[in-house]
């Protein structure tokens, strides 16, 4: 059973299922919107065919159903999935970025005088430099 739980939480199966559900719900919104638009397209004789009383209501019904489904999917699938994923597979604390670590190392080497281009000239006893 733990292998199945690991399979569900590690892979993108849940995310893919949510995307499929939301895509299908959005398709009904697009279909309703297209039906409303095409119902108001001019007819062959050049006159508008007037919108039927239920056309716009059909679109708003599909839109409200989409918003409600999105809320249900978010609160009952996405939020628990995210919490379970964080609980069972905690993410590592973000460390210092590689470029910052490299620049810090370069700065420290230059401060120590061990850099590639460190000052190799010698100083005489009177403070003047000679090459």
Q: Which of 81, 74, 76 is nearest to 8 (CA)?
A: 81
Rounded Cα–Cα distance for residues 131 and 123 (Å): 9
Q: Decide which of 52 and 2 is more confident.
A: 2
Count CB neighbours of 57 within 10 A. 12
User: Which 3 state secondary structure label does DSSP give 73?
Assistant: helix
What's the CA angle centered on 127, arms 126 and 131, to 5 degrees?
110
Backbone angles phi, psi at 69, to 5 degrees: -65, -40
Q: Identify the band that residue 27 occupies on the pLDDT scale cut at 50, 70 and 90.
A: very high
The three state secondary structure string of 45-62 is CCCECCCCHHHHHHHHHH
**What per-residue confidence (pLDDT) applies to 126?**
58
How confident is the prediction for the chain on average, in pLDDT? 78
Q: Decide which of 67 and 101 is more confident.
A: 67
**DSSP state at residue 78:** I
What's the pTM?
Answer: 0.57
Rounded Cα–Cα distance for residues 53 and 32 (Å): 14
């Amino acid at each position: 059973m733990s292998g199945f739980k690991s399979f569900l939480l590690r892979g993108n199966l849940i995310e893919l299922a949510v995307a499929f559900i939301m895509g299908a719900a959005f398709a009904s919104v697009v279909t309703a919107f297209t039906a409303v638009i095409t119902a108001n397209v001019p007819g062959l004789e050049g006159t508008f065919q007037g919108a039927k009383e239920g056309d716009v209501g059909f679109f708003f019904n599909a839109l409200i159903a989409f918003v409600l489904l999105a809320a249900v999917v978010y609160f009952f699938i996405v939020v628990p999935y995210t919490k379970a994923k964080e609980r069972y597979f905690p993410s590592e604390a973000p460390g210092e970025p590689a470029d910052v670590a490299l620049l810090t190392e370069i700065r420290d080497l230059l401060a120590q005088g061990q850099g590639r281009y460190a000052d190799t000239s010698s100083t005489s006893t009177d403070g003047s430099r000679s090459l």
